[in-house]
Amino acid sequence: MFKLKKSFWAKRFLALVAATILTSGAIFPLIVSNVSATSGLLTARSVEMSTSQVSASDIYQIGFTIATTGVVQGIDVDFCSGTTSPIIGETCTKPTGFSLGTYQVATSGGANTGLTGTWVPASIQSGQTLELSDATGGSLTSGASIIFTLGGTGTAPTNTSTLGTFYVRILTFATPTLAAAYTSGTPGTYIDGGGVALSTANQLTITAKVQEQLTFCIDTNGATSCGSASGTTVLLGDAQDVLSTTFPAVSNAAEYIVQTNAGSGAAIRMSGCTLYIGGNCSGISIASTTTGATSSPGSSQFGMCSYGVTGYTTNLSITTAYNQGGNCSTITPDAGGTLTSGAAGSATFAFQAATTGTFGDQIGTESAGSQGIAYLAFLGNASASQQEGTYATTLTFIATGTF
């Protein structure tokens, strides 16, 4: 009896196994029936993003190469979250925070190629999938390259708010109806298809600092940069530094050099007094050309004008009082200590007061950018009654940047 029972149950077990195999074979086609058995694989698939920043407005350029020759009237571009997959036929969900925007699509011109006619964009699957359809779509040949752009006008698409990988599925259809009926889990009958992996990423922040800069110097050696500037003495007069009652003494040996990155530029000011015996700004002096005057030999005069050095005037401006109409450049500086009648030209020389005040008198400005250089031209005349002596002054030049 024991052997008979064993044989009986063995037969029952084999029968159940056979039934199970048959049942499985019947179910298997149902599992894969959502995927078209005759579809081709799109090659050279790509989705180029204008930015990988999460939640950012983006532009997607979608490209692929046709596998199957035939009439194409519909294209679907399905966006899937990173927790699903790019495999067509598997259910996928819309990436968190993703939006098609107003799904403006460029299908011709520029980098967009391969599609002719009028392709109408639409949103299906609650904004997860872009559908393009053209009821008059023509035949596309195997190997044809297709490129079109989603975004760029209207409201741009918005990247997923999730950092990392997400996916795109691309499918072509023979009719607009088939394209419109598409769902991620039930793609229906399509011609060609394929998936693409994309990723959002953290943005790299690069920080660099630019310091406030102001370069300023005075020199008498004709330097073209402060690094080579030297000299602080101007000798005004003939070969023995003597002023004349007949000819003007004019020197442009001094200059200033200035450069800044200050947003509102730099102001150059002069502070000091006219020529005094002993140079201590008190006692007997040579009168300053207070509000501006041309040279008048035989009169006691001390003044200054200024003009830019050729090639260094792009950002430099001289205050009008010290270069009226650009006439300071008409001077002919004394050469070899020899005074001449026309040395002062038509220049107007100014020195705003006996002393120029606490912060000085503005003589020029320099805007941000390239270096500026300006000559400082001084005039000296003596009257017949000017008391003898050695006259001097010390002038202070100040550059102040407004940042």
Q: Report the pLDDT value the prediction gives residue 26, as an integer from 0 to 100.
A: 31
**Residues 63-76: what's their mean pLDDT?**
96
- Judge whether residue 6 has pLDDT over 70: no
The Cα 94–Cα 83 span in angstroms is 10
**Residues 330-346: what's their mean pLDDT?**
94
Residue 321 burial (CB count, 10 A): 19
Give 137-162 pLDDT, tens digit per residue.
778 999 999 999 999 877 899 999 99
- Judge whether residue 71 has pLDDT over 70: yes
Q: How far is CA 88 from the centre of its chain?
A: 42
- Judge whether residue 392 has pLDDT over 50: yes
Number of H helices, E strands in the chain: 2, 22
pLDDT tier at 358, thresholds 50, 70, 90: confident
- Judge whether residue 9 has pLDDT over 60: no
Give 222-264 pLDDT, tens digit per residue.
999 999 999 999 999 999 999 999 999 999 999 999 999 999 9
**Residues 86-110: what's their mean pLDDT?**
90
Q: Report the pLDDT value the prediction gives residue 312, as an integer from 0 to 100.
A: 98
Average pLDDT, rounded, for the chain:
89
Residue 78: closest CA among 188, 202, 200, 203: 188
Q: Report the pLDDT value the prediction gives residue 11, as an integer from 0 to 100.
A: 41
Pairing of strands 139-140, 70-71: antiparallel
Q: Report the pLDDT value the prediction gives residue 110, as an integer from 0 to 100.
A: 65
pTM passes above 0.95: no
Q: Report the pLDDT value the prediction gives residue 136, as an integer from 0 to 100.
A: 87
Question: What percent helix, strand, coil does the chain show, rounded to 5?
Answer: 10, 35, 55
Q: Report the pLDDT value the prediction gives residue 109, as an integer from 0 to 100.
A: 64
pLDDT tier at 356, thresholds 50, 70, 90: low
Q: Report the pLDDT value the prediction gives residue 260, as an integer from 0 to 100.
A: 98
**Residues 24-28: what's their mean pLDDT?**
31
Helix, strand or coil, per DSSP, at residue 352? coil
- Judge whether residue 167 has pLDDT over 70: yes
pLDDT tier at 1, thresholds 50, 70, 90: very low
Burial readout 217-242 (b: 16 or more C-beta within 10 A, e: otherwise): bbbbeebeebeebeeeebebbbeeee
